[in-house]
A and B are shown apart, each in its own frame.
Chain A
Amino acid sequence: MPVKVVEEWLNSCSGCEISILNLGDTLLDLLPELNFVHIPVLIDHKYYGQTGESDVIEIPEADIGIVSGGVRNEEHKHVLEETRKKTKILIALGSCAAHGGIPAQANMYTNKDIFEKLFRGSPSTDPASDPNHPNVPQWLDSCLALDEVVEVDVTIPGCPPHPDWIAEALTALLEGKTSWSLPERSVCDTCPVIREKKSAAGPVRRCFENLEFNPEEGLDKMRCINEQGFLCLGPVTLAGCAGKEGVPRCIQARTPCRGCFGPIRKGARPMVDMMGAMSSVGLDPKTVVDRRAIMNRYIGGHGNLRPLPARPARK
């Protein structure tokens, strides 16, 4: 009998769902064993009955729940809690679900500041008041990862997660396992570039400059991006963006790692670790522009980013 699956998207862009479809042939192999009973991205299924007749949210019972996206407002929270109630195993799919993702960069500001900027502060906007229609869900205080709201059994990070890992996790669950996790390796562990252990000097170079490499030659002839003086988040980022094997995707494109898989170990603080890694290469963290946002690009949840307290100017 096929396993029932509920798929839900919250504060996300649908990239993770596309990654599911991107499984390709593997998806065809898996499909006979999966029965998607609710997946609003692909199949029409309404929350309050097909004609809106019900006033209680209705998500079908299922064995596996897959949720992508973080939790930004009351609606997300409600849907997530309902999904958790109806499913036996909950998968957090993608970096937004796992760590807050790009939208969680807003955690650097208070909701008041954000609304002020959105509805009144920007020069191209006609000033308006904050939305207060009862059908518009209220924002939560910050953008949360799923495990800050409910219990999560399996986490598949990535922006988007690689189909290999989705397939592996689903297969493991179909086999009856109740947990699965990515191997704890850093991007550097899977990166083929040359490390000369010589320090770079001077301020950190920004992404507007090109790396030094010979396009004719392979990546194993290119020098480490950090050693070239750029900020590459490889040392503090979980490996796996290129699937089970293969060179990390950003490195393949000869650009620095942006850190989309999040911290290597749960609870690690990539920003603190990265500053240590930078000083061992000889880069000066002081010269990174917008340091806080760049080092927490995908991991603003879990309290990694928060508004700085207002305090009197230093003497």
Chain B
Amino acid sequence: MEKEFEPKIVAFCCNWCSYLAADSAGMARNQYPSNVHIIRCMCSGMVHPNFVIDALTKGLADGVMVCGCHPGDCHYQDGNKRAESRSEAIFLMLEDFGLEQERFRLEWISASEGQKFAGVSGEMTQTLKELGPNFYKS
């Protein structure tokens, strides 16, 4: 029997909200798929578009999530606003590299929203399973 395609998702989580959300998801025993590989970074605003594009075009990941604090909650005042404006450029580059827009997702998840983190991870995994593997993987 052919094995079901298991996408690999890289999640950049900010140290102050989303990483704690992933933590609290664990503590509250909210199940989320093991496809998500979390990379902790200080702020969602530091995730350079290059990281996202490299992860996808070098065939390392099938999808990328960038998770930050809710607007206005940023530990560094406006880091997540920067992430938002960068995400516009990222969507444009996805188009140029021939990747589906669904392969990238920007989410605001606060430290207490473990449930939401689990939910978003599940949704993303489901979407990618439907999309199939990243074309650059081959």
Contact = CB atoms under 8 A, between A and B. Distances in A.
B53 interface: yes
Interface residues of A, number: 17
Contacts of A286: 92
Interface string B83-95: 0010001001100
Given A269-B50, A309-B135, A275 B100 contact: no
Most buried by A among B98, B100, B135: B98
A271 B89 contact: no
Contacts of B93: 271-272, 275
B80 to A, nearest CB: 16
A276 interface: yes
B89 A279 contact: yes
Interface of B is mostly: helix
Interface string B43-79: 0000011100100000000000000000000000000
B50 A314 contact: no
Contacts of A33: none
Contacts of B48: 276
B135 A271 contact: no
A314 B89 CA distance: 19
A238 B135 CA distance: 30
Interface string A293-315: 00000000000001111010010
Interface residues of B, number: 13
Most chain B beta-carbon neighbours within 10 Å: one of A272, A286, A307 = A272
Nearest to A311: B100
Contacts of B100: 311, 314
B96 interface: yes
A308 B98 contact: yes
Interface in A252-306: 269, 271-273, 275-276, 279, 285-286, 291-292, 306
B29 to A, nearest CB: 35
B96 A276 contact: no
Contact of A276 (B89, B98, B101, B135): B89
Query: Which of B85, B89, B101 has the most A CB atoms < 10 Å from its CB?
Result: B89
Given A308-B98, A309-B135, A275 B50 contact: no
A309 B98 contact: yes
Contacts of A271: 93, 96
A67 to B, nearest CB: 28
Interface string A84-124: 00000000000000000000000000000000000000000
5 contacts: A272-B50, A272-B53, A272-B93, A276-B89, A309-B98
Query: Which 5 pairs between the two chains have the least Cβ-Cβ distance?
Result: A308-B98, A309-B135, A292-B96, A275-B89, A272-B53
